[in-house]
């Protein structure tokens, strides 16, 4: 099983050098100086690869499920290219995000802007990563009938993510703790716009467009997909927030810092919603404080209000709700012409199964 997973990843990764060489080829063709080409290559290699690649690989998985068969080499390449498009978008956000948050490391190495000689050039490097998406889409999909939809969904989700980032940055600045700005409703807005659209809806929508699934004025499959994937993305982020507090670092693979970093997390918002005045005082005095003892006091308060039990209840409720939404997808074969591709429940079940009860 692990071996098949590694092979799948390797196959997906083998597409990246092809795309990188096409991008570098464009700079060469335009007669750009060697040092610019070398810089761009280092940006691509440093920032686009090295993550978990879940978002990108889910485009390929979704295309395979929707088509219900093994992909031809050309189909695989196109699906993987769209998947890498999501990874380029992710890289664009991480490079920018790390500067805004003044983060130190990312994926086990220094953040790009902290690499010697990079500094504020990282701003332009982020733009280059975003621009790369549209160069590759045009080169490979320009003649496809669904090309404009690919552009639309990349542009729309990018703007949605930018808006989510804005609400997050003004709600929870690291250096100015004000818990009166926090609420579960605001947390939900941030999560949906900042994470759910680009991490969950975008990969599946790209797969659907590539498979030729049409929009419809009644029961639009894209609206249906969004209705399922946005709550799924929300559940994923709540889980992420909970694991930041509850998972041991050796399991999580990193040390949780949400409390110290004043993050607008599900945990603190859940606590704020039910805190007594005395508990609220503990949160006001200790949340977002760069001090281990203050962090420990917040963690003790989380245990006191039974956050683990509340999370378990949330998780069961979210799972049931998402299963219910998935079951609104018509079962296969209903009103579909021969050769047509339709939305399948399995696309969403695969996502849910990967997330449900995960430990890291």
Cα distance from N-terminal residue to C-terminal residue, the chain: 19
- The verdict on 171 and 24 lying in the same domain is no
Last residue of a domain, one of 121, 143, 165: 143
Could you tell me which of 145, 186, 155, 180 has the C-alpha nearest to residue 168? 186
Per-residue model confidence as pLDDT tens digits over 236-270: 999 999 999 998 888 877 788 899 999 999 999 99
Per-residue model confidence as pLDDT tens digits over 297-335: 999 999 999 999 999 999 999 999 999 999 999 886 555
- The verdict on 242 and 312 lying in the same domain is yes
Q: How many domains does the chain have?
A: 2
pLDDT at 137: 98
Question: Is 73's pLDDT higher than 60?
Answer: yes
- The verdict on 111 and 210 lying in the same domain is no
Q: At 128, which CATH number?
A: 1.10.600.10
Give the range among 42-46, 104-108, 160-164 with minimum mean pLDDT.
104-108
pLDDT at 1: 62
Place 338 in a pLDDT band, splitting at 50, 70 and 90.
Answer: very low
Question: Is 358's pLDDT higher than 90?
Answer: no
**pLDDT top residue among 82 and 359:** 82
pLDDT at 339: 53
- The verdict on 138 and 173 lying in the same domain is no
Q: Residue 75, exposed/middle/buried by CB under 10 A (0-12, 13-18, 19+)?
A: middle
pLDDT at 331: 81
Give the range among 105-109, 142-146, 212-216, 288-292 with minimum mean pLDDT.
105-109
Cβ atoms within 10 Å, residue 52 = 11
Place 101 in a pLDDT band, splitting at 50, 70 and 90.
Answer: confident
Domain boundaries, position 246? 145-359
Give the range among 71-75, 80-84, 202-206, 245-249 with minimum mean pLDDT.
245-249
Give the range among 12-26, 61-75, 99-113, 124-138 with minimum mean pLDDT.
99-113
Question: Is 3's pLDDT higher than 90?
Answer: no
- Integer Cα distance of 318 and 316 in angstroms: 6
**pLDDT top residue among 270 and 3:** 270
Per-residue model confidence as pLDDT tens digits over 127-160: 999 999 999 999 999 999 999 999 999 999 999 9
- The verdict on 175 and 190 lying in the same domain is yes
CB 241 within 8 Å of CB 248: no
Last residue of a domain, one of 98, 114, 143: 143
Averaged pLDDT, 97-116: 90
The two tokens of residue 263 are 């993050």
Cβ atoms within 10 Å, residue 250 = 7
- The verdict on 54 and 172 lying in the same domain is no
- The verdict on 20 and 119 lying in the same domain is yes
- Integer Cα distance of 10 and 60 in angstroms: 13
* C-alpha distances out from residue 175 to 129, 172, 260, 299, Å: 29, 9, 11, 20
CB 229 within 8 Å of CB 350: no
Averaged pLDDT, 29-56: 96
- Integer Cα distance of 109 and 13 in angstroms: 20
When the pLDDT of each residue in the chain is averaged and rounded to a whole number, the result is 93
Last residue of a domain, one of 105, 123, 143: 143
| Per-residue H/E/C for the chain | CHHHHHHHHHHHHCCHHHHHHHHHHHHHHCCCCHHHHHHHHHHHHHHCCCCCCHHHHHHHHHHHHHHCCCCCHHHHHHHHHHHHHHHHHHHHHHHHHHHHCCCCEECCEECHHHCCCCCCHHHHHHHHHHHHHHHHHHHHHCCCCCHHHHHHHHHHHHHHHHHHHHHHHHHCCCCCCCHHHCCHHHHHHHHHHHHHHHHHHHHHHHHHHHCCCCCCCCCCHHHHHHHHHHHHHHHHHHHHHHHHHHCCHHHHCCCCCCCCCCCCCHHHHHHHHHCCHHHHHHHHHHCCCCCHHHHHHHHHHHHHCCHHHHHHHHHHHHHHHHHHHHCCCCCCCCCCCCCCCCCCHHHHHHHHHHHCCCCC
């Amino acid at each position: 099983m692990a071996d098949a997973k590694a092979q799948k990843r390797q196959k997906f990764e083998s597409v990246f050098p092809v795309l990188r060489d096409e991008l570098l080829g464009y700079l060469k063709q335009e007669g750009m100086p060697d040092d610019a080409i070398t810089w761009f290559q280092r940006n691509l290699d440093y920032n686009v690869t090295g993550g978990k690649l879940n978002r990108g690989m889910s485009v390929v998985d979704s295309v395979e499920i929707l088509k219900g068969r093994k992909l031809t080499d050309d189909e695989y390449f196109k699906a993987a290219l769209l998947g890498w498009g999501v990874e380029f978008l992710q890289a664009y956000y991480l490079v920018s995000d790390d500067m805004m948050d003044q983060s130190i490391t990312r994926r086990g190495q220094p953040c790009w802007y902290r690499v010697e000689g990079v500094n504020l050039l990282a701003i332009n490097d982020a733009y280059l990563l975003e621009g790369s998406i549209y160069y590759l889409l045009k080169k490979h999909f320009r003649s496809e009938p669904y090309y404009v939809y690919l552009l639309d969904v990349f542009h729309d989700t990018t703007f949605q993510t930018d808006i989510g980032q804005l609400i997050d940055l003004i709600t929870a600045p690291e250096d100015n703790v004000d818990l009166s700005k926090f609420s579960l409703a605001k947390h939900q807005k941030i999560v949906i716009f900042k994470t759910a659209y680009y991490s969950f809806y975008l990969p599946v929508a790209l797969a659907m467009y590539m498979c030729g699934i049409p929009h419809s004025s009644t029961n639009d499959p894209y609206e249906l997909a969004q209705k399922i994937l946005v709550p799924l993305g929300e559940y994923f982020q709540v889980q992420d927030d909970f694991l930041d507090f509850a998972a041991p670092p050796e399991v999580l693979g990193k040390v949780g810092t949400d409390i110290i970093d004043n993050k607008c997390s599900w945990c603190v918002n859940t606590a704020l919603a039910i805190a007594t005045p005395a508990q609220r005082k503990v949160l006001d005095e200790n949340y977002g404080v760069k001090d281990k003892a203050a962090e420990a006091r917040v963690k003790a308060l989380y245990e006191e209000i039974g956050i683990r039990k509340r999370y378990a209840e949330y998780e069961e409720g979210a799972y049931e709700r998402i299963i219910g939404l998935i079951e609104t997808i018509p079962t296969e074969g209903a009103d579909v012409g021969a050769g047509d591709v339709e939305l399948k429940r399995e696309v969403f079940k695969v996502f849910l199964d990967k997330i449900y009860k995960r430990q890291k």
